[in-house]
């Protein structure tokens, strides 16, 4: 039995939480008995759930493993992550998703829910064994070719039809491939000045519009990964106004960073640390994404944690890999972009980083409110802390963060997975 003393649930009045046998047994004042942990007035949130994590295992264990990636997740306050399918081999069969699921059970510092590929080998030619992955021990409900777009409209329609049988969802990486061939950054004023091939907003928006129409046509669930433009927000708002079952995510970096960092930043020009897919966009896009996350047009924050080894990232811009690590800074960036600006309170953060992602992924034991009888998945967060981001202190195997040297608000103090601490005093247990 553990009693966590002096925490503020969703930023409310001080309270104590008694945890017994993995469950929140009691919430009240002056609780005692068992092992006592001083919460120090931290904000208590339901354990965070990430719908979009790249754990890289199997195949790229030099970048991340299930063990290091879930350590990174726990340090970021996460109690569950969805592991994207673009591994090697690709998670496109029951065998591979069960392998990832078993690695999670054995080495995970949080729950690991494999995402299944939509098409065989992510090649966009033939549907993968969606039903077999859904029926496997991993019980896959989220399917995505993330990293690539399911650009064939017939395949996308079939996938949306297929997942209805088991209440699954297709999570689309919306990128029209022909419109983004050779693209290096956002298409706009800055790309024009730098002479880099641009990545037009329409390449994202056209796919989102098409997929919303397809999902409505077949009556299925669509989830839009990493929305990055103001125009995408307008399309999703329209689809929701029709009552269609469309959800969407935004990454922390798209809520904070803009494309002019490619030209001028604290770490110089053309620094590939800012190279990411979809690309960083403009200040107007950032403002639209923040407003959409606040008003519920965008449902959740998902990290798109994309670890890369140094040799793939610290090279010339055109050759560098796309992506940023994000699990250990997500909550701080959301505090900076959404809480400090008055756009969200802690209850709003809990909805968007725990309850709703768990619901989209159909996870039963995650994302529940901190109430008596709920599984004790709890994140304790000190929003008054200020931390200079030091990548060498990350639990992730990779260091490719755009926030190095920046001072961000907040610090994850502790994380509990079904009552068992995975992080205490900011350190892995």
Please give the Cα distance from 77 to 166 (Å, whole number).
30
CA separation for the pair 221, 212 (Å, rounded): 9
Give the 3-state secondary structure of residue 235.
Answer: helix
Q: Compute the least distance from the CB of residue 283 to Zn ion, in Å.
A: 22
Smaller CB separation from Zn ion, 203 or 370: 203
Q: Return d(Cα 66, Cα 174) in angstroms, integer.
A: 26
The nearer residue to Zn ion, 4 or 203, going by C-beta atoms, is 203
Q: CB 147 → Zn ion: shortest distance, Å?
A: 6
**CA gap 318, 173 in Å, rounded:** 21
Q: Which is nearer to Zn ion, 204 or 259 (CB)?
A: 204
By DSSP bridging, strand 378-388 and strand 23-28 are unpaired
Is the backbone of residue 326 left (phi > 0), alpha (psi -120 to 50) or beta? alpha
Name which of 79 and 251 has its Cβ closer to Zn ion: 251
Burial class (CB in 10 A: 0-12, 13-18, 19+), 125: exposed
| Min dist. Cβ of residue 65 to Zn ion (A) | 20
**What DSSP character marks residue 115?**
P
Going by their DSSP bridges, the two strands 427-428 and 169-172 should be labelled as unpaired
Residues that bind Zn ion (CB under 5 A): 146, 173
146 vs 249 by CB, closer to Zn ion: 146
CB of 102 to Zn ion, least distance (A): 25
Q: Catalytic residue among 111, 304, 312, 382, which?
A: 304
Token pair in block for residue 121: 């080998």
The rounded distance, in Å, linking the Cα atoms of 294 and 288 is 10
- Do 152 and 160 meet the contact criterion of CB atoms below 8 Å apart? no
Q: Which is nearer to Zn ion, 398 or 415 (by Cβ)?
A: 398
- Cβ-based nearer residue to Zn ion, 181 or 407: 181
Active site residue 304: yes
Beta carbon nearer to Zn ion, 173 or 253: 173
Please give the helix or strand (H or E) that residue 375 lies within, else none: none
Contacts of 68 (CB under 8 A, 6+ apart): 395, 396, 397
The nearest distance, CB 226 to Zn ion, in angstroms, is 6
DSSP calls for 305-373: B----HHHHSS-GGGSPP-B--TTTHHHHHIIIIITTTS--HHHHHIIIIIHHHHHTT-SSSS--S-TT
As measured in angstroms, the least distance from the Cβ of 146 to Zn ion is 4
Query: How far apart are CB 277 and Zn ion at their closest, in Å?
Result: 6
Residue nearest to Zn ion (CB): 173
Return the closest-CA partner of residue 276 out of 246, 306, 255, 247.
306
- Least distance to Zn ion from the beta carbon of 123, Å? 16
Pairing between β-strand 35-46 and β-strand 222-224 as defined by DSSP bridges? unpaired
Element of type H or E holding 233: helix 230-241
Give the residue numbers annotated as catalytic, written as ranges. Answer: 304
């Amino acid at each position: 039995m553990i009693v966590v003393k002096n925490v503020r649930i969703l930023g409310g009045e001080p309270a104590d939480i008694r945890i017994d046998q993995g469950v929140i047994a009691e919430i009240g004042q002056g609780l005692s008995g068992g092992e006592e942990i001083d919460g120090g007035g931290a904000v208590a949130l339901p354990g965070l759930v990430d719908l979009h994590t790249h754990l890289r295992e199997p195949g790229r264990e030099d970048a991340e493993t299930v063990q290091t990636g879930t350590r990174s997740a726990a340090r970021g306050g996460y109690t569950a992550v969805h592991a994207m399918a673009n591994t090697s081999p690709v998670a496109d069969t029951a065998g591979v998703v069960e392998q990832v699921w078993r690695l999670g059970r054995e080495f995970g510092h949080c729950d690991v829910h494999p995402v299944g590929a939509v098409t065989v080998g992510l090649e966009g030619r033939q549907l993968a064994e969606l039903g077999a992955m859904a029926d496997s021990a991993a019980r896959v409900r989220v399917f995505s070719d993330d990293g690539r777009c399911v650009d064939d409209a017939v395949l996308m329609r079939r996938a949306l039809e297929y997942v209805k049988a088991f209440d699954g969802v297709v999570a689309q990486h919306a990128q029209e491939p022909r419109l983004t061939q050779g693209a290096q950054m956002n298409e706009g004023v800055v790309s024009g000045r730098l002479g880099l091939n641009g990545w037009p907003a329409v390449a994202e928006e056209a796919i989102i519009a098409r997929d919303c129409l397809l999902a409505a046509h077949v009556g299925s669930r669509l989830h839009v990964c990493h929305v990055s433009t103001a125009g995408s927000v307008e399309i999703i708002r329209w689809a929701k106004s029709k009552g269609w079952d469309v959800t969407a995510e935004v990454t922390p970096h798209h809520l904070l960073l803009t494309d002019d960092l490619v030209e001028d930043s604290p770490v110089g020009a053309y620094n590939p640390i800012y190279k990411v897919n979809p690309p960083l966009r403009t200040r107007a896009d950032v403002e639209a994404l923040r407003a959409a996350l606040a008003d519920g047009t965008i449902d959740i924050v998902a990290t798109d944690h994309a670890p890369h080894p140094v040799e793939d990232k610290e090279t010339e811009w055109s050759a560098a890999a796309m992506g940023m690590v994000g699990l250990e800074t997500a909550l701080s960036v959301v505090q900076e972009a959404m809480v400090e600006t008055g756009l969200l309170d802690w209850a709003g953060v809990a909805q968007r980083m725990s309850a709703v992602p768990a619901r989209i992924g159909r996870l039963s034991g995650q994302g529940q409110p901190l109430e008596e009888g709920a599984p004790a998945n709890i994140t304790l967060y000190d929003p008054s802390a200020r931390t200079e981001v030091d990548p060498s202190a990350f639990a992730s195997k990779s260091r490719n963060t755009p926030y190095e040297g920046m001072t961000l608000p907040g610090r994850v103090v502790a994380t509990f997975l079904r009552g068992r601490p995975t992080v205490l005093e900011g350190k892995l247990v």
